Structure 1
Amino acid sequence: MNDDQGLLLITTALLVGAALGLGFFGGLWWTVRRGAVSVRPARWFVSSLILRTTLVLTGFYLVGAEQPLRLGACLLGFLLARVVVLRVTRLKGCEQVAAASGPPPCA
């Protein structure tokens, strides 16, 4: 395998990790919002946890393929997606607070 193929595999692993992270943390945010107003929040949280964890571990297993560098790139993409989701959801939360009660405390 030449350097270009290796770089392509690492970049792909990084992007797949970011997609897994967006799905995991975006799904967590969505679950918290749905579970907070649900009559049976435990069902939301448990089923979401099982589904999100299964998808992410399967993705890591398939991308890693016993290659530590690819697995590391996938994990890095996953963690970068966490930062993105935190920033996006924090901004949305601040906008909702501002609309409800004036300036947000997190501004």
Structure 2
Amino acid sequence: MDVNLTLFGLAFLWGAFLGLIYFGGLWLTLKTAPDKRRPVRWLAISFVARLTMAMSGFWIILRMNPAVFFCTLAGFFLVRIVLTRMLGRKIKGVGHAAHA
């Protein structure tokens, strides 16, 4: 079995890019939704656009090599964890209500 580490690394980076688009877009959508005239429409359009981009990116990788797909997923969810921790610190009071 020939293991191409470059392919796995690029797949991981591709997953991180997809995660940045999806979860970064989610953060921007939620941040700007209260200022929109029709926030529900804004949320729906954003969801469909983010989901379409992420699923298209995953589909490209899955068609190339199913084993590499899991590296893409790892990059995607690592970005979710990192963004949650980074952006969660910027919001005052997050996590403190449960301890009171």
**CA contact 1:22–1:81 (8 Å) conserved in 2:** yes
Gap runs ≥5 in structure 2 = none
1:1-107 map, 5 Å? 2-3=2-3, 6-94=4-92, 104=93, 106=95
Gap runs ≥5 in structure 1 = 95-103
SS in 1 for 2:37: coil
Would you identify which runs of 4 or more consecutive aligned residues in structure 1 move more than 3 Å?
A: 104-107
Shift of 1:22: 1.1
**CA contact 1:13–1:63 (8 Å) conserved in 2:** yes
SS in 2 for 1:39: coil
Report the aligned-residue RMSD.
1.8
Given the two structures, how large is their TM-score scaled by the length of structure 1?
0.80
Identity of aligned residues (%): 35
Shift of 1:25: 0.4
Shift of 1:2: 4.8
Deviates more, 1:54-63 or 1:31-40: 31-40
The letter for the 2-side match of 1:75 is L
**CA contact 1:63–1:70 (8 Å) conserved in 2:** yes
Given the two structures, how large is their TM-score scaled by the length of structure 2?
0.85
Which structure has the larger Rg? 1
* Number of matched pairs: 96
